[in-house]
Amino acid sequence: MTTPFALWDLDRTLIRLEIDIEDVKRWKTKIKARLAPLGWDGWLSPMLPTLENALDTLQETHGERVAGLRADLYRNLDDWEAQALQGLTPIHHGIEHLCALAERDTPLALVTNNGKPAADKALRALDEYAASQGWTPPSWRAQVFRTHHRPSKPAPDMLAFALQTMGYDGHSPALMFGDSDSDRFSAQALAGSGVPIKFVDVRSLPLQSTGGWVR
């Protein structure tokens, strides 16, 4: 059996990041206030893809002014997200399967639309939970976070970058473990370019780690 390259989402796949919806509303209000002077007054839902689309559109007109604003907004978003974290809830069966792959020396990558500050907190909680269960903690070959340098999921760019960082050979099987349409669509888009990658919905994984779901 060929060992697959395994890419993992974070929020709601391995750890649930508890953030109050009122904080999200405040983020959106602040972001819209920064974009309004440039003539943008649209929706931010879902926030990350629509923010990226808004900035791309505005950059065509305003050029480098928007490039600087983009970097600043992403820094602010990272700070808001980390500060707004009210709790981190481990998702038992997701971490269980991740650690089963780690035990078998599967090449692992984290690919998340979360920013690095919040993700770092979540990963510490993940490692602590794995240790409390007596499981092998993951050793990541790549960690890919939200950044203003590349499109986020559901675009395939983050997945492609993770595989490149892992030394992917271009033809070995790969799996994208996630819980959402953005994870599914990013894997499908990458598969459309010829990469043999499949999406695995963690919500459908068996609750016991037998290892039989990777064939």
**CA pair distance 28, 33, nearest whole angstrom:** 9
Specify the pLDDT at position 46: 85
Cβ-contact 93, 202 below 8 angstroms: yes
pTM summary value: 0.91
The CA–CA distances, whole Å, from 184 to 73, 114, 179, 181 equal: 27, 17, 8, 5
Q: For residues 185, 101, 145 and 189, what is the CA-based torsion angle, rounded to 10 degrees?
A: -20
Cβ-contact 44, 28 below 8 angstroms: yes
Specify the pLDDT at position 212: 36
Specify the pLDDT at position 73: 94
One digit per residue, the tens of pLDDT, for the chain of length 215 reads 567 899 999 999 999 999 988 988 999 999 999 999 999 988 888 888 899 999 999 999 998 889 899 999 999 999 999 988 889 999 999 999 999 999 999 999 999 999 999 999 999 999 999 999 999 999 999 999 999 888 999 999 999 999 999 999 989 999 999 999 999 999 999 999 999 999 999 988 865 443 333 32
> Beta strand pairing status for 85-90 and 15-19?
antiparallel
Specify the pLDDT at position 71: 92
